[in-house]
Amino acid sequence: LKLAEIIPTVLDDFVPSLGLHVTWSFWERALLGNTLPPEKLQDEPTIALHDILAAASPALKNARAANVTYVITLTDPDAPSRDEPEWSEFCHWVASGVLKPGLCDPKEPAPCVPVLADLDEVVPYKPPGPPAGTGSHRYVFVAFVPSNGTTDRLHLSKPAARKRWGYDETWCGGGAHQHNHDHHTKGAREWAAENGLAAVGANFIYARNKQQ
């Protein structure tokens, strides 16, 4: 995540407590920076989560609380391109749900992992669709839990728009390697903070238009 500059562009530094599995049809899946063709990402993916770290803080313990609601976001910090991210971040998906058994990958010997079910979509899934000539885009999935550990039903706000997650701030430039995220991107991090959510897992892919 740091090597791909997702931290700090999309997220502040955090300690993941859950592994975040993202699987599309035909077992296409996110592998922390693999490249997938947009045409294979058209259907809403299956989300699965599993423990990777012993609880060491209230936020991590909340990730394992019984009946906790998980929130998944998909965001593109490279819209319309990584060099000129004036729409960054672009909101592709916001959904919440609970974990139920279980996703079994025939390619893996590992046990089945719980999947996110009974999804309540705040923003419907919009498949990655990088424009022609804009290079590779990072599509970032983040798993959140309520910071206060509540198991009550969440009342999540809906972003006002997909572009910049509805935030009005104008991008100030800086190019592909601008490290001060406050100057050119607002999105999942700010929305999660407003809704009292803490990040517990993340994954991402690259996708690009065939026409470059």
Domain ranges of the chain: 6-207
In this structure, of 53-62, 85-94, 196-205, the range with the lowest mean pLDDT score is: 53-62
Asked whether 71 and 20 are in contact (CB, 8 A), the reply is no
Angstrom distance (rounded) from CA 20 to CA 4: 17
Angstrom distance (rounded) from CA 203 to CA 198: 15
pLDDT at 212: 87
Percent of the chain with pLDDT over 70: 82
Does the pLDDT at position 8 exceed 90? yes
Average pLDDT, the chain: 87
Mean pLDDT of the 34-60 span? 83
Mean pLDDT of the 72-84 span? 96
What CATH number should be reported for the domain whose range is 6-207?
A: 3.90.280.10
Looking only at Cα atoms, what is the longest distance across the chain?
A: 48
Most confident segment among 105-109, 110-114, 128-132: 128-132
pLDDT at 110: 53
Residues 89-108 have pLDDT tens digits of: 999 999 999 998 776 655 55
pLDDT at 93: 99
Mean pLDDT of the 163-192 span? 69
Mean pLDDT of the 134-155 span? 96
Q: pLDDT band at residue 50, thresholds of 50, 70 and 90?
A: confident
CA distances from 97 to 20, 117, 119, 169 (A): 14, 5, 5, 30
Does the pLDDT at position 159 exceed 50? yes
Percent of the chain with pLDDT over 90: 71
Q: pLDDT band at residue 181, thresholds of 50, 70 and 90?
A: very low
